[in-house]
Amino acid sequence: MLISPAFAQAAGGTPESSLMSFLPLILMFVVLYFLMIRPQMKRAKEHKAMLGGLNKGDEVVTAGGVVGKITAIDEAYVTLDVGSESSVNIHIQKQAIQTLLPKGTIKSI
């Protein structure tokens, strides 16, 4: 005989062994989802809600670290008063606002 019976029987695998080989990959994806993807989606939803609730007179911090008081709000842009004695206004994108400060945080404006 040219092919031994033991070699012929070794070909092919069971469906259970292929499922067990994918189990670590599936487990890593589940852990990745709960540790990274889900919290980031939650933060993005909270940031979107914060941007939707901005009003004139709110005190904010931008992503660049600029602190100011909102003087005008457009759909995509916000005007901030950042000056102390003279009125210095800057226009920024709404998405650049990072944090909404409590009222009365900025004393000098």
pLDDT of residue 50: 95
Q: Is 55-101 a CATH 2.30.30 domain?
A: yes
Q: How distant, in Å, are the alpha carbons of 35, 40, 58, 67 from that of 53?
A: 28, 20, 10, 18
pLDDT of residue 1: 56
pLDDT, mean of residues 49-55: 95
Mean pLDDT over the full length of the chain: 86
Percent of the chain with pLDDT over 70: 83
- State the pLDDT confidence band at 9, using cuts at 50, 70 and 90: low
What DSSP line would sit under 32-46, residue for residue? HIIIIIHHHHHHHHH
The answer to whether residue 18 scores a pLDDT higher than 60 is yes
Task: Please report which helix (H) or strand (E) contains residue 97, including its range.
Answer: strand 97-101
